[in-house]
Structure 1
């Protein structure tokens, strides 16, 4: 008989919708591609980079991240995407049965990670202005509070006043997910130096265009980082992904920053185009927009028939049905807008 964990029995496999469309705006990756220098390094990787293990705990990648973030390598850890680091944090800082508090709505993987780690998942509704409800989060008594800013799927940010108050009053760790930091008006990694109980995770899957290579990182006090590294293990990246990530973080930075600025400009144009259609997208600091729309799943299905894929949400707390549309080159946006018009008829 196969031994099973009773708590696993009702956990479904995480499987977001996967549809092949010529225009795919469903996963918030960089639709401009990857930095040219990163592509060159990928093509030129020696066989030995593939046939040998990379260095344990990615010291060269941490050096590149240190230059990019301003944090010493001992304040940094890396993982197989930022979602891997979030999972590592839950294992490192919470015992099975303890609580994790999460704003609602937010990154859907958190409820999944809570279940597989045997934790109590406690959602706390966002405020009407989509800021975090500090008092509600603190009232849960959770020793780990997760905040995504800019928030997925809303695109909204946690205010600095609210986040500082949360970190200062939290009974344990505050884990801030900044996957979309390069597109945001304000970020909070600076709090890591002044507060001992905050970890900030980021990724190279969005602005850096390396989603397929799965590289994320976290910033925190060395005593927190060392605990995460215990859960992380020695090898979380391939040698290839490390080489390409280092190239993107160094020589590729001008390309990354230029594309991020271009995406922000396109985001603004898309807001105006959607408003012209009678829609009201939420204010966004990410590389995507959330557009409240009745019967959004049906509209998204019709858009897929027109070869455009967007992410549909049903019954989001405080929002209702909505479409999430990633921002990319403007011709893609024009195609998506036309598909949206036709799908709504």
Structure 2
């Protein structure tokens, strides 16, 4: 039988996203960390006002309109940004530009499992360094591994913890390769690592509009790095990777900081209440700086609870991976959704 694929592709496992029920299905969906609230009215208005001429022509190849808006919000020059079809594409661009067989990709685990998938696609060398039980970053081990690319998600998924800025700075200062700080959930946290980009030319911050801005279905993310680092990334990105609709809607969304911040405030308040309710049921709940919680059921029967809730049309996330077999990741929904979840768990217990 003919084998069409490279050996590393043939051997690798596919990335498995969270389950996506069909539209119109009555499901409480708390498995993919989507924002519980709708996008900004300004973003929806931009969508309704799309000019057909924008669709006839190719879009601006670097997402210039969005970069200008993000520059104003973040206080970073627009030419220090690269825009992508979701932050996942930016991760992929970094991998295409910086890795190959014989080059190492390093990251602590457990973390975003796409890092492993992207590394296997490039046939680069994988170095996974386990977090301790308290999720303290293994700084010395990461520095010693000295990857061509080192990924640090902060806040991290699925743990929800934030890596201290001083730890990230140690990595930036001592690594010779690229340090990618994945801040997909930063809107739910109290701080960020953006200052490191200005100080270290090997640092890249990656963000997305999927979480804080309720635009997971739009697919727009961006990276912030020095022009020296970006010049190589621009060489390998697709010619027109950001469509005109995504650019217009995302521009309106990022400008509406008041709406985004109001939604974040509601989610963080709900996160506190959900954590309290689960602790009352004797769950172990890790502190979170995201829009989800990592929890451990008192009987450590995580897969059973996941399956039973799924039968009741309540989706949460179970990871069949080392260190996570007895844990669940639960997206923070609306207060009403969270209460349905808690009541269902009570009934199961």
What is the TM-score when the length of structure 2 is the normalising length?
0.94
Distance in 1, Cα, partners of 2:179 & 2:307: 37
Question: 1:274–1:61: structure 2 CA closer, same or farther, 3 Å change rule?
Answer: same
Partner of 1:56: 61
Question: 1:260–1:80: structure 2 CA closer, same or farther, 3 Å change rule?
Answer: same
Structure 1 residue 269, shift from structure 2 partner = 1.0
Distance in 2, Cα, partners of 1:228 & 1:132: 27
Partner of 1:333: 338
Asked if 2 retains the 8 angstrom alpha-carbon contact of 1:292 and 1:320, the reply is no
How do residues 99-114 of structure 1 correspond to structure 2 at under 5 angstroms? 99-114=104-119
Structure 1 residue 27, shift from structure 2 partner = 0.5
Asked if 1 retains the 8 angstrom alpha-carbon contact of 2:36 and 2:267, the reply is no
Match of 1:131, SS state, is coil
Asked if 2 retains the 8 angstrom alpha-carbon contact of 1:146 and 1:177, the reply is yes
Asked if 1 retains the 8 angstrom alpha-carbon contact of 2:97 and 2:233, the reply is yes
RMSD, aligned CA = 1.5
What is the TM-score when the length of structure 1 is the normalising length?
0.95
Unmatched 5+ residue regions in structure 1? none
Asked if 2 retains the 8 angstrom alpha-carbon contact of 1:131 and 1:157, the reply is no
How do residues 81-160 of structure 1 correspond to structure 2 at under 5 angstroms? 81-160=86-165
Residue among 163, 166, 175 paired with 2:168: 163
Q: Which runs of 4+ in 1 moved over 6 A?
A: none
Structure 1 residue 4, shift from structure 2 partner = 2.8
Asked if 2 retains the 8 angstrom alpha-carbon contact of 1:288 and 1:324, the reply is yes
Structure 1 residue 165, shift from structure 2 partner = 1.1
Partner of 1:195: 200
Please identify, of 22-31 and 158-167, the stretch whose mean Cα deviation from structure 2 is larger. 158-167
Asked if 2 retains the 8 angstrom alpha-carbon contact of 1:296 and 1:314, the reply is no
Partner of 1:298: 304
Unmatched 5+ residue regions in structure 2? none
Partner of 1:30: 35
Please identify, of 13-22 and 96-105, the stretch whose mean Cα deviation from structure 2 is larger. 13-22
Distance in 2, Cα, partners of 1:129 & 1:18: 29
Residue among 273, 280, 284 paired with 1:269: 273
Distance in 1, Cα, partners of 2:20 & 2:62: 35
Partner of 1:282: 286
Aligned length: 342
Question: In the alignment, is residue 259 of structure 1 matched against residue 255 of structure 2?
Answer: no
Give a deviation string over 1:224-254, Cα, whole Å, max 9, x none: 112111121221121111110011011x221
Structure 1 residue 34, shift from structure 2 partner = 0.7
Asked if 1 retains the 8 angstrom alpha-carbon contact of 2:146 and 2:177, the reply is no
Give a deviation string over 1:173-212, Cα, whole Å, max 9, x none: 1110000011112210111111121000000000101111
Question: In the alignment, is residue 313 of structure 1 matched against residue 319 of structure 2?
Answer: yes
